[in-house]
A = this chain, B = another copy of it.
């Protein structure tokens, strides 16, 4: 189940840090490693998990692996959250209400 993979993928702080870095644009594995105090294989493994969860994607270019945030990769997370809309924070609930009005 993809839903579970997303939660697990994001439950690790190093992976969230990697994901955060990708938010500013495409980066290769070496660039993503900079600053993070982990080995090269560790980054490679984290990237594999994020990719498996559908959160990022790779574009291979020669010997480089360029990673980027997968479009709509967070979609399953929102799909899950929608099931608990009645427990959303007030400001989000206000948004939801607005949308319904707009759709009518």
- On A, residues with C-beta under 8 Å from B are 1, 4, 7-8, 10-11, 13, 16, 19-20, 23, 69, 71-75, 77-78, 81, 83-84, 86-92, 94-96, 98-99, 102
| Copies of this chain | 2
Q: Given the known A-B contacts A11-B7, A98-B102, are A20 and B89 also in contact in the complex, defined by CB atoms under 8 Å?
A: no
Q: CA separation between A73 and B77, bound complex, in Å?
A: 16
Report the separation of the CA atoms of residues A11 and B72 in the bound assembly, to the nearest whole angstrom: 20
Partner of A23, one of B72, B87, B94: B87
- When C-beta atoms are compared, the residue in chain B nearest to A20 turns out to be B83
13 contacts between A and B (CB under 8 A): A1-B13, A7-B7, A7-B11, A11-B11, A23-B83, A72-B87, A72-B90, A74-B81, A74-B87, A74-B89, A78-B92, A95-B96, A98-B99
